[in-house]
Amino acid sequence: MTAAMLSLPEASVRAGNIDIPVAGKSCLSSLSVSSYPMAYPNPFRGETSIFYKADKDETIALRLFTKDGKLIDVIYSGKVEKETINRFELDGKYMPPGVYYYSIENGEKIVHKRLELVR
């Protein structure tokens, strides 16, 4: 499994081979900050991206868990900037299909979301 973090300006987000504009009336810019984190695509077949937008500069930990709550990996641990859409890539080609959960913790709260890998 590999993961990468990209900080993207509000102008665009690249998810796989798809450019998702995030200015004006795009699908991501219309989401409220509380809609983050989000994974796209979800369900996914091999690769997916997890997007997170922080209200303030902060340090986060993004973790991946099995459906039983067992920690698989810390995808990212570090600083993110406020008002920047952060993209974390997840390569699941060596993971078995099934339900997973990811969490983002910023020191004040933890948000858990469901993720599904299909073949």
> What CATH number is associated with residue 54?
2.60.40.3080
For position 35, what pLDDT does the model report? 59
Query: Can you give the pLDDT of all 119 residues of the chain as single tens digits?
Result: 545 544 444 444 444 444 444 433 333 433 444 457 899 999 999 999 999 998 899 999 999 999 999 999 999 999 999 988 999 999 999 999 999 999 999 989 999 999 999 98
Q: Is 35 helix (H, G, I), strand (E, B) or coil?
A: helix
For position 36, what pLDDT does the model report? 78
| Structure-token pair, residue 59 | 């340090």
For position 39, what pLDDT does the model report? 95
Please count the structural domains in the chain: 1
To the question of pTM greater than 0.85 for the whole model, the response is no
* Among the listed residues 4, 21, 3, the one whose alpha carbon sits nearest the alpha carbon of residue 12: 21
Residue 41 belongs to domain spanning = 2-117
| Structure-token pair, residue 11 | 């102008």
Across the chain, where does the E strand assignment appear?
A: 2-8, 12-15, 18-21, 38-40, 47-53, 58-66, 71-80, 85-91, 98-105, 110-117
| Structure-token pair, residue 95 | 């993971």
N-terminal to C-terminal alpha carbon distance within the chain: 16
